Amino acid sequence: MSSPPVLPRPAADHWAFPRSVSGILLLLDFAAEHGTGRAVALRGTEVDEAVLADPTDVVPASVELTVLRNISSALDGRPSLGLELGARYHVTAFGILGYALMSSRTVAEAMQLALRFLDLSHIFTVPTVTVEGDDVVVELRALDLPSDLVRFLVERDVAAIHTVLSELVPGGAGFTAVELAFPEPPDAARWRDRLGVAPAFGAPRTAFRLAVADLARDLPQGNPHSQALAEQMCRDVVARRRGRSGVTEQVRIWITRNLAHLSETGGMSQAAAALAMSERTLRRHLARAGTAYQALLDEVRQALAEEMLDTGVMTVDDVAQRLGYAEASSFIHAFKRWHGETPAQFRLRRTRRAAPGAAG
Give SS3 for 222. Answer: coil
Q: What is the pLDDT of residues 91-141, one digit of tens each?
A: 999 999 999 999 999 999 999 999 999 999 999 999 999 988 899 999 999
Average pLDDT on 64-84 reads: 92
Query: What's residue 98's pLDDT?
Result: 95
Q: Please give the sequence-ordered ranges of beta strands (E in DSSP) within the chain, or none if there are none.
A: 19-20, 58-59, 126-132, 135-141, 177-180, 200-201, 207-211
The CATH 3.90.1520 portion of the chain extends over: 19-241
Q: What is the pLDDT of residues 271-294, one digit of tens each?
A: 888 887 888 888 887 876 667 888
Q: How far apart are the C-alpha atoms of 81 and 71, rounded to whole Å?
A: 10
* CATH architecture group of domain 19-241: Alpha-Beta Complex (3.90)
Q: Note if the pTM is more than 0.75.
A: no
Q: How far apart are the C-alpha atoms of 172 and 270, rounded to whole Å?
A: 45
Give percent of the chain above pLDDT 90.
48
Query: What's residue 360's pLDDT?
Result: 40
> Positive or negative, the Cα torsion across 199, 202, 142, 41?
positive
Query: What's residue 37's pLDDT?
Result: 95
Q: Does the domain formed by 246-354 have CATH 1.10.10.60?
A: yes
Q: What is the pLDDT of residues 307-342, one digit of tens each?
A: 888 777 788 898 888 888 888 899 899 888 888 889
Give SS3 for 223. Answer: coil
Q: How far is CA 231 from CA 95, 100, 126, 224, 353, in A?
A: 12, 6, 22, 10, 50
Query: What's residue 150's pLDDT?
Result: 94
Q: How far apart are the C-alpha atoms of 156 and 141, rounded to whole Å?
A: 13
Q: Which helix (H) or strand (E) holds 260?
A: none
Q: Is 260 exposed, middle or buried (0-12, 13-18, 19+ CB in 10 A)?
A: exposed
Query: What's residue 178's pLDDT?
Result: 97
Confidence class for position 353, pLDDT limits 50, 70, 90: low
Average pLDDT on 77-94 reads: 93
